[in-house]
Amino acid sequence: MNIKKFRLDTKIPLPPLQVPAVLTKPISVNPVVLTDILFRKDKRTRLFLNIEPDKRLDMLRSVTRSVRADILRRLPEEDMVKLLQSVAPTEATDMLQLISKTKREKVLALLSSELKDSLSTLLAFDPETAAGLMTLDYIQVDAKENIESTAKKFMQHEKQTGRPPVILVMSEGKLTGYLPGHRLGLAAKSELIGKYSRRLSAISYAAKHKDVVSLFRANPHNKVAVLNDSSEVVGIIYSDDMLKALQDDQASSLYNFAGIRESESVTDSAKSKVKNRYRWLVINLATSFMAAFTVGLFEDTLDKFVLLAIYMPIVAGMGGNAATQTLAVQVRGIALKQIELKTAWRTLRNELGAGLINGIINGILVAAVVIAINRDFKVAIVLAMAMVINLLVAALFGTLVPLIMSKLGKDPATSATIFITTATDILGFMAFLGLATIILN
């Protein structure tokens, strides 16, 4: 199917689906059963089928994506059909995308022709685009139609699907807005719906999720129309679907920040976890050797002043923690489009100011500890000065590195951490041991 030439005819009947259940309370399944489903892959499907049918959907929504995919891949086609018939088309599409193409075709063959057509339509779109978030719950009505005829179409759709549709107002085949549902009950039956039409934002079916999020932020509405290349409506995105996408993006950033793959979950095997993480650990190992090499340059100083070795981890640890705080703020600012490299001066100035003040505060505290315990004023001065320098380094690199990575088209949460940690370790050690070499000798 050529997606660019796709047209959606609003006369195609939508499948008779039930309203999906909303999770308003914790899932009422035995905790032991839930734990076995999560971790006992060999018994997972059997345990799932032993759950009462009305609780299976809640269970499926509560587990991780990898566990959900494993259950659906092993689930008999007849049981999967029952699940698909109990949810909205968008959620049914998400389920079908988790199974193999062969099984997907077998499941679709068991569905009614209406449901099969609707799901096939949604499956044709890229799930990473706006079209992957849309639903087909809408009707198109000409602006010159009256309230009475519109109400009949509204009720017909709701009777077929179990869900109230968005009423899209059209003029000469083009989208002009939407009719708020309450107008069907308040306005006179003979009044034209164009009189009550309200503006509705629209977006291309090929737009990425981040563009959908930006549109919702710029135009605070609870829905957005999705258009094809000919500016024809092909679907509707609700705010809750957008929020789900936003949550997925945030979870992805959290995984990346930690240096693990998005697909990894708490239920993965040790082998899978090693496969997902070892590359990051190898890179971090290489940067650790660079820090160790820096320390080795001051071997003579360390031999003379063994006390320095005791306080070295404090310098590196404080720099790393301060940099992580700055990085978190910058990544959030980048995600919200509040900052970019060319507008970073004020942020950098504020971060350096905060780093200087925090460095002085912590430097005084650590110096006081050294004086109280070791009675060594020179080491106390060295440690305090190194603390100030390393927190300034943390502020500098924590601010600029994620912005540079973003400018280069890289994910700042994924790529910035290694460079920042390397900078705070190496420059922190150089400041501490370099000052020690100058002052103590």
Answer with the residue of higher pLDDT: 195 or 272. Answer: 195
Q: Is the pLDDT of residue 263 over 60?
A: no
Q: For residue range 44-54, list pLDDT tens digits in order.
A: 888 888 877 77
- Indicate the residue type of 302: L
pLDDT at 389: 94
pLDDT at 42: 75
pLDDT at 11: 36
- If you average pLDDT over residues 70-94, what whole number do you get? 84
Q: For residue range 369-427, list pLDDT tens digits in order.
A: 999 999 999 999 999 999 999 999 999 999 998 888 888 877 676 667 778 888 888 99
- Superfamily of the domain at 138-247: CBS-domain (3.10.580.10)
4-17: burial string, b at 16+ Cβ within 10 Å, e else = eebebebeeebbeb
Question: Based on the number of CB atoms within 10 Å of its own CB, is 375 exposed (0-12), middle (13-18) or buried (19 or more)?
Answer: exposed
Answer with the residue of higher pLDDT: 431 or 272. Answer: 431
pLDDT at 421: 85
Q: For residue range 322-377, list pLDDT tens digits in order.
A: 988 888 888 878 876 778 888 888 889 999 999 999 999 999 999 999 999 999 99
pLDDT at 388: 94
Q: For residue range 144-197, list pLDDT tens digits in order.
A: 899 888 888 888 888 777 778 888 999 888 898 888 888 888 888 888 888 888
Q: Is the pLDDT of residue 6 over 50?
A: no
Instruction: Transcribe 113-166 into DSSP letters.
Output: HHHHHHHHHHHTS-TTBGGGG-B--EEEEETTSBHHHHHHHHHHHHHHHSSPPE
pLDDT at 2: 38
pLDDT at 336: 67
Q: For residue range 273-313, list pLDDT tens digits in order.
A: 777 677 767 877 887 888 888 888 888 888 888 888 888 88
User: Taking the domains of the chain in order of start, what are their residue ranges?
Assistant: 3-124, 138-247, 270-440
pLDDT at 1: 37
Full strand arrangement of the beta sheet holding 174-179: 138-142, 166-171, 174-179
Q: For residue range 102-124, list pLDDT tens digits in order.
A: 898 888 888 887 788 778 888 87
Query: Tokens for 371?
Result: 């004086």
Answer with the residue of higher pLDDT: 9 or 391. Answer: 391
- Indicate the residue type of 36: D
Answer with the residue of higher pLDDT: 30 or 85. Answer: 85
Q: How many of the other CB atoms lie within 10 Å of CB of 102?
A: 8
270-440: which CATH number, 1.10.3720.10, 1.25.10.10, 1.10.357.20, 3.40.1350.10? 1.10.357.20
pLDDT at 40: 72
Q: Which of 22, 52, 50, 62 is nearest to 267 (CA)?
A: 62
Q: How many of the other CB atoms lie within 10 Å of CB of 377?
A: 11
Q: For the chain, what is the mean pLDDT?
A: 79
